[in-house]
Amino acid sequence: MKKKNKKRNILYVIVILLIFLLAIFSFENFKQEKKEMPTETEKLVKNISISSLSLEDFVKVKINITENNILLIYECKVLPIGITAPQAYSIYMGKINETAFRPTTHDIIHEILEHYGIDVMFVKVTELKGGTYFAELYLKKGNRILNIDTRPSDAIAIAVRSNSPVYLKKDLLKYAEEFC
């Protein structure tokens, strides 16, 4: 009986050792897989190409606003982009560096970006599709860059709060009006 118990105990020890070794091996594989898996931000950053950061086909524009439009001004040309009164108000308040009685969404976004050390690099107004303008907001923290597809009004409202430049794709100047 003692021989049987001894054999059983040895078998238990061997099984426990095998389970322990298997657990260690699995944990090491898990650690390696975890290191290789990029975060969501890293996935987004990897999708940014050097060409998307280029400003080669873009011109820097000045921003002005009316009650119904953002006016993108380049030399003697002005490109109006239709906006609502609240959007115009938000951009205006950002341009004069004022905060309303209660902060707007753009004020809050600006504060969050500032708090976490995220810089607004620039805004690019990139295209016009079906009467709708598209823009990209470029953000930077350390050596990480993120571009976000956004409405021009939102991107510009955030950019004016951080004194960041706004660029317009040269091709869009064909829709601009001459004023000189």
Query: pLDDT 10s digit of each residue in the chain, 180 long?
Result: 555 566 666 666 565 655 655 566 565 555 444 445 555 555 444 456 666 788 899 999 999 999 899 999 999 999 999 999 999 999 999 999 988 888 889 999 999 999 999 999 999 999 999 999 999 999 998 888 999 999 999 999 999 999 999 999 999 999 999 988
Q: Which residues pair with 135 in a beta bridge?
A: 125, 150
Q: Identify the CATH number of the domain in which residue 167 sits.
A: 3.10.690.10
147 and 122 assigned to the same domain: yes
Q: Can you tell me the distance from the alpha carbon of 29 to that of 23, in angstroms, rounded to the nearest whole number?
A: 10
* Residue 104 shares a structural domain with residue 162: yes
Statement to judge: residues 30 and 65 lie in one domain: no
Q: Same domain for 77 and 145?
A: yes
What domain range includes position 27?
2-37
- Decide: 161 and 62 in contact? Cβ < 8 Å: no
Q: Are residues 151 and 133 in the same domain?
A: yes
pTM over 0.85: no
For 103, which DSSP code?
A: -
